[in-house]
Amino acid sequence: MRLRHIPGAEQMIEESPYVIQKPEERKGKWHEVFGNHNPIHIEVGMGKGKFIMELARTNPEVNYIGIERYSTVMLKALQKREQLQLSNIYFMCVDAKNMAEIFEPGEVARIYLNFSDPWPKDRHAKRRLTSPQFMEVYDKILSRDGRVEFKTDNRGLFDYSLESVPEAGWKILESTFDLHHSEMAEGNVMTEYETKFAAEGKPICKLTAVR
């Protein structure tokens, strides 16, 4: 789907106090950004931010960073962020493949991947956020007991992930083809897409991976 560009979006993002500019300069110093040593959780492809902002609101003891490549989508998240009185969440407009240049080894405790682009063509497989190439990036920045949580409505992408994640040297701790009717539903926070798909009766798949 082609995103409609919003004039001035890039400038508004650059001027926002909630967006980290030049995040590579914060590598190994994220505790200074947040003013504490609380664990850091990242959502890759946060969209309009419903999921990660709800987590930040209910878990003040955790620091959250939302990553979104597209400025038009990021702007919508910022409009929501400005209405919240939170000190434990920031955003970055970067490509997730560069995260090892932004975080030191072990600096991140958890990574959320929610309703990522499926990149259905085989020649684009390496762009999938659960591909061995991306799992290698996560391995570089996650703490020893860190984990990756992945949700999708795309069964093809999920089936691929059930194979690609172990092939990358990770262990699938738990998984389900129908999240909302499983034990994994406890404590689940829904994204915008998830709310829409659930209302349509579409099953949501989820897996949690560790090293």
Question: What pLDDT is stored for residue 98 in this prediction?
Answer: 96
Contacts of 163 (CB under 8 A, 6+ apart): none
Question: What pLDDT is stored for residue 2 in this prediction?
Answer: 45
Q: Has residue 54 been placed in a domain? A: yes
What's the pLDDT tens digit per position in 62-121? Answer: 999 999 988 888 988 998 998 999 999 999 999 999 999 999 999 999 999 999 999 999
153 is catalytic: no
Alpha-carbon separation of residue 57 from 60, 63, 64, 98, 163 (angstroms): 6, 10, 10, 27, 34
Q: Which residues of the chain have pLDDT under 70?
A: 1-8
Instruction: Judge contact between 86 and 63, C-beta under 8 A.
Output: no
Q: Can you give the pTM of this predicted structure?
A: 0.94
Count how many domains the chain has: 1
Q: Has residue 86 been placed in a domain? A: yes
Q: Has residue 73 been placed in a domain? A: yes
Q: Which of 117, 145, 159, 178 is catalytic?
A: 117
Question: What pLDDT is stored for residue 52 in this prediction?
Answer: 97
Question: What pLDDT is stored for residue 205 in this prediction?
Answer: 98
Q: Has residue 95 been placed in a domain? A: yes
Question: What pLDDT is stored for residue 45 in this prediction?
Answer: 95
Phi, psi of 187 (to 5 degrees): 75, 5
Question: What pLDDT is stored for residue 69 in this prediction?
Answer: 87
Q: In what helix (H) or strand (E) does residue 144 lie, and over which residues does it extend? A: strand 142-152
Q: Has residue 165 been placed in a domain? A: yes
Reduced DSSP (H G I as helix, E B as strand, rest coil) percent helix, strand, coil of the chain, to 5: 40, 20, 40
Give the separation between CA 69 and CA 86, rounded to whole angstroms: 22
Q: Has residue 3 been placed in a domain? A: no
> Which candidate, 14, 18, 33, 40, places its Cα nearest to that of 141?
40
DSSP secondary structure code for residue 47 in this structure:
T
Q: Has residue 121 been placed in a domain? A: yes
Question: What pLDDT is stored for residue 1 in this prediction?
Answer: 43
Tell me which residue range forms the domain holding 74.
9-210
- CATH code of the domain covering residue 155: 3.40.50.150
Q: Has residue 2 been placed in a domain? A: no
Give the separation between CA 169 and CA 182, rounded to whole angstroms: 26
